[in-house]
Amino acid sequence: MRMRSLLSLTAAAAALALPVAVAASAPAAAADVAVLTTGSVGGTSVAEGSTITASLATGTTATLYSSSTGTSGITCTASTFTATVSGNPTAPGTATESLTGQTFSGCTSNVVGVLGVTSVTVNNLPYTTAVSSDGSVAVTPASGSAIQTTVVLRTLLGSVSCVYQAASGLAGTADNTDNSIKFANQQFSRTSGSSLCPASGFWTAKYSPVTTGGEPVYVN
């Protein structure tokens, strides 16, 4: 009986020790995933200080129309942006970037009296860009400033310059399907310039792929 009791106690102790051993040998929890990654969703974290760039998605244009449903205004066949990552926390969260450059070219206008578009220039850079895990993108100016674009047109009356501002900032959407950021009907108001320029401008553009170091950027 004494030997049988000893064997039973030994077996019970071994049974109790087994789960502990299994738990000790289990793999460590997966590393935290940053809001912005490259390679794939949940991939390599984009380092702070990295440069992010993008051009218009293939087959698309950037437009500044006089109404949200119209087709009268300015159309540009090329546009690019450049931003620097200033913060990339663990997801879910919001990554921040400094938008340091944005260009437009190949621009034309179908507004009556306008012969051509000399330039479209983004002013008051840099802007702060916030990219959240839910795919929302917010672009805001520095305190006391405004998101502003200056349009120079060639007209029947000579060259005219018009300034547009977006008082409430810009809102876009990031999509991992094609690594894009899209802005749709973002409203600007003409704050100065000729009446040949529409009083309001509704800006639409889709940038894809958004990359850093040649690698697509994903939002987590």
For 191-204, how does the pLDDT look when each residue is reduced to its tens digit (9 = 90+)?
Answer: 999 888 889 999 99
How far is CA 8 from each of CA 19, 20, 21, 164, 188, rounded to the nearest angstrom? Answer: 18, 19, 20, 85, 81
What are φ and ψ of residue 186, in 5° steps?
Answer: -80, 120
Buried b (16+ CB within 10 A) or exposed e, 185-220: ebebebeebbebbbebbbbbbbbbbbbbeebbbbbb
Alpha helices in the chain (DSSP H): 2-25
Residue 81 and residue 207 in contact, taking contact as beta carbons nearer than 8 Å: yes
Say what the pTM is: 0.85
pLDDT in tens, 144-168: 999 999 999 999 889 999 999 998 8
The DSSP code for 214 is: T
Query: CA nearest 117: which of 73, 62, 65, 60?
Result: 73
pLDDT at 210: 98
What are φ and ψ of residue 201, in 5° steps?
Answer: -135, 130
Residue 163 β-bridge partners: 150, 192
Structure tokens at 140: 């805001």
Residue 135 and residue 180 in contact, taking contact as beta carbons nearer than 8 Å: no
Q: What percent of the chain has pLDDT over 70?
A: 86
Query: Which amino acid appears at position 19 of this protein?
Result: P
In Å, the largest CA–CA distance within the chain is: 114
Torsion sign (Cα): 75, 80, 86, 91: positive
pLDDT at 186: 97
Residue 209, preceding peptide bond in cis (omega within 30° of 0): yes
Residue 202 and residue 68 in contact, taking contact as beta carbons nearer than 8 Å: yes
Q: With a cut of 70, say whether residue 216 has pLDDT above it.
A: yes
Residue 188 and residue 202 in contact, taking contact as beta carbons nearer than 8 Å: yes
Structure tokens at 213: 């170091």
Interatomic CA distance for residues 81 and 99, integer angstroms: 7
pLDDT at 168: 81
pLDDT at 167: 81
The DSSP code for 218 is: E
